[in-house]
A and B are shown apart, each in its own frame.
Chain A
Amino acid sequence: SQQGEEDPQALSIQEGENATMNCSYKTSINNLQWYRQNSGRGLVHLILIRSNEREKHSGRLRVTLDTSKKSSSLLITASRAADTASYFCATDEYGNKLVFGAGTILRVKS
Chain B
Amino acid sequence: NAGVTQTPKFQVLKTGQSMTLQCAQDMNHEYMSWYRQDPGMGLRLIHYSVGAGITDQGEVPNGYNVSRSTTEDFPLRLLSAAPSQTSVYFCASSQRLTGEQFFGPGTRLTVL
Contact = CB atoms under 8 A, between A and B. Distances in A.
B42 A97 contact: no
Interface of B: 4, 33, 35, 40-45, 48, 56, 58-59, 90, 92, 97-106
Interface string A23-51: 00000001101010000111111001000
Contact of B105 (A42, A90, A99): A42
Given A45-B100, A45-B101, A101-B42, 12 more contacts: A30-B98, A42-B90, A42-B104, A43-B92, A48-B100, A90-B43, A90-B101, A92-B98, A97-B59, A98-B45, A98-B98, A103-B42
Contacts of B44: 3, 100
A41 B98 contact: no
Contacts of B99: 31, 48
